[in-house]
Amino acid sequence: MNPHTEWMWPLIQYAEVRMEQLVVNHPEARGELRDVLNQAARELLLLGSSDWPLLVSTGQVREYAGGRFQQHLARFNQLASVADSGVFTDMNRHFLTNIADLDNPFPDIDYRVFVAREKPA
């Protein structure tokens, strides 16, 4: 945590909470919804990778790392919005296919690994 990366942490935390809420809202998703939620989980893991803050901090490839961070955040948010809406347009399907082809680590991920860690107060 430093002045160059402090902006990243609230965005990661917000995305984590949003993912937990998606699990609550869709505990047994099937089909396209499950595919969207699984890719959202992948994007969240990629967003939270320690590589982005490290690369921003060291200044080696600050712009690249910041851009990749923003890219994963935008993808996550778009997937979360699709899941929340339940609307699967051809554009949404194309988006999912494209990003799944680009970034598909953890091919067997189950989005439900992000079940809430704590109960709300």
Q: What percent of the chain has pLDDT over 70?
A: 97
Residues 6 or more apart from 114 whose CB is under 8 A from it?
16, 19, 20, 22, 23, 41, 44
Average pLDDT, the chain: 90
Fold of 35-114: immunoglobulin/albumin-binding domain-like (1.20.1430)
pTM: 0.89
Residues 103-120: pLDDT tens digits?
888 999 999 999 977 665
Residue by residue, DSSP assigns 41-108 as HHHHHHHT-THHHHHHHH-SSHHHHHHHHHHHHHHHHHHHHHHHHT---HHHHHHHHHHHHH---STT
- pLDDT confidence of residue 19: 97
pLDDT surpasses 70 at 121: no
The domain spans of the chain are: 35-114
Q: What percent of the chain has pLDDT over 90?
A: 68
